[in-house]
Amino acid sequence: MSSSLEKESPKELEAGFVLEDQETGTKESTESSPIGDGARGEQTKFQRFTTFLTKYGIETHGIDPIPREDRTDKRLYQMFLAWLSVNLNVLTFSTGTVGPAFFGLGLRDSLIIILMVDLVLCAVPAYFAVFGPKLGTRAMVQSRFSWGFYGSMIPSILNVFSLQGFLILNCIVGGQTLASVSDKLNDTAGIVIIAVISLVVTFCGYRVLHWYESFAWFPNLIAFLVMLGVGAKHIENNPMPPPEPSAVLSYASVVVSSVLSWCTMTPDYGVYHADTPSWHIFLYVYLGFFCSSLPGHMLGAAFAAGAPAVPAWQAGLGDGSDVGGLLEAVLAMSGGFGKFLTVVIALTIPSAVAPTMYSFGTSFMAVTPLFAKIPRYVYAIISTAILIPVAIVGATRFYNTLVDILSIIGYWSSSFAAIVFAEHFIIRRNRFSSYNTEDWDKPSKLPLGIAAVLAFACSIGIIVPSMSQVWYTGPIANSGTGDIGVYTGFFTAGLLYVPFRLVERNVERKMGREPF
């Protein structure tokens, strides 16, 4: 961001009255905003409304890098609590249930897979979280330093759809859980309630999100402990035939996708911790993920594996599409307190939905300068309007919806992560000083992006034959490997990006451009 823009008052920037042209750096009025039909009167009304929201604490800040002097938050514990709350919830529990309920794996095999995946993969979003404090940029803006200004539109668009998919999944399980408590409340009403609560939290922005996440984990922890207390004696590790390698790899891919996909969001929630050592950020975020993902996944696997032996649990799970019903059936064993905990679990779902909806807006704004002129709260409203009807439909076939969405998110996220890591560790040699964040909106000062796009395209070429979904199975997956698209995509993108990028840097030098 240019120095002239940084001199503007924070309230002007947050209200959206000053924008900067992407190429020239000259300021332009928001009268050119796409809101309305271009008439000055309508623009003024919108600006007044935005200013009104700002006065009442609604965050309207866009995707501009946060100035160093404004990044002074010392509350590092929030980095741990935020990701603990985001993952210690029903969706993580649901992901764990996929092994026994969808892939037919035994309890022991499911727990081993979960342990191995969570132990290793939680490190990926944890390291991505370091980029936020060091650069002061959101994840999709940071991707411009490897994908280029125009190439980064690809992951931004994909992230918009991916985050919306996460929102749909969370609202489904939240709505199901809420509806399971009362016969007078159905899944549809539950989904609407969860979506509206999440919208309210998202409206208030980064600081309110961190405040909310600092305690949202606690009710879920109590509920999970109660579930263990009343239900553990009913869980048995029944003898199972040796699992098919394809089932093992496919389930591992689902768990990998559920963890890896957070790498496109974690930089967004630490931008104000500029003075914190990198290893502190990494450790706090890693522990936040691991201490929530591991127990959540394992509990889901355990109770799904035990459901066939307990009629009430099996009835709650239904045809395998009602994880909320399974939760309620287990907690019902503790009486009225269990019903209370079921409601509390459902009402803490916004701890995962709200930050996802927040990043949905920042990703949309990173797609094109035109979208960046629209305040983020508008995108939160759009997201809510889309997710409610889609979640209502998806709730009728939950496990297929869960596996499809998580797998597709994992496919492209793995390639994205490999490209960003290759740029950072190999090309830039782990030097954050090599990123000039003032060039974030200047295409001529950023990489061409051809290397990233080519590496990504090649990775898609190997992901497709490695996929194994209900609606499509590629020839590689069909040979008995199961779904290995996440793994092949990661290694293909990472290996090809480096030589492609070295060639691209030579081209940039011949064009008279500094590589970085």
Domains (range + CATH), the chain: 3-55 (no CATH), 68-369+377-510 (1.10.4160.10)
pLDDT computed for residue 505 by the predictor: 94
Alpha carbon separation from 105 to 91, 229, 310, 397 (Å, rounded): 19, 24, 18, 20
- By C-alpha distance, which of 339, 376, 333 is closest to 358? 376
Amino acid identity of 52?
F
Residues 6+ apart with CB under 8 A from 446: 144, 145, 148, 149, 439, 440
Which residues, in sequence order, are bridge partners of residue 273? Answer: 72
Amino acid identity of 323?
V
Amino acid identity of 101?
A
C-beta separation of 324 from 179 below 8 A: yes
pLDDT computed for residue 320 by the predictor: 63
18-20 and 27-29 beta bridge pairing: antiparallel
Q: Assign 3-class secondary structure to 413-429.
A: HHHHHHHHHHHHHHHCC
Sign of CA pseudo-dihedral 209, 398, 416, 447:
negative
C-beta separation of 508 from 450 below 8 A: no
d(CA 476, CA 474): 6
Residues 6+ apart with CB under 8 A from 156: 140, 143, 363, 364, 366, 367
- By C-alpha distance, which of 394, 357, 393, 348 is closest to 377? 357
Supply the pTM of this predicted model. 0.84
d(CA 272, CA 301): 37
Question: DSSP for 440-466?
Answer: TT-GGGS---HHHHHHHHHHHHHHHHH
pLDDT computed for residue 31 by the predictor: 35
C-beta separation of 495 from 260 below 8 A: no
d(CA 28, CA 17): 9
Query: Could you read off the pLDDT tens digit of each residue along the chain, which spans 516 residues?
Result: 333 333 333 333 333 323 333 333 333 333 334 444 444 445 566 566 666 555 545 555 567 887 777 777 777 888 898 899 889 988 899 999 999 988 989 999 999 999 999 999 999 999 999 998 888 888 999 999 999 999 999 999 999 999 898 889 889 888 888 888 887 888 889 999 988 888 887 776 656 766 777 788 898 999 999 999 999 988 887 777 888 999 999 999 999 999 998 999 899 887 777 778 889 999 999 999 999 999 999 999 999 999 988 999 988 887 666 788 898 899 999 888 988 999 988 888 887 887 788 788 888 888 988 888 887 778 888 999 998 999 998 887 777 788 888 889 999 999 999 999 999 999 999 999 999 999 999 999 999 999 999 999 999 999 999 999 888 899 999 998 999 999 999 999 999 999 999 999 999 998 887 766
Beta-strand ranges (E) seen in 231-293 are: none
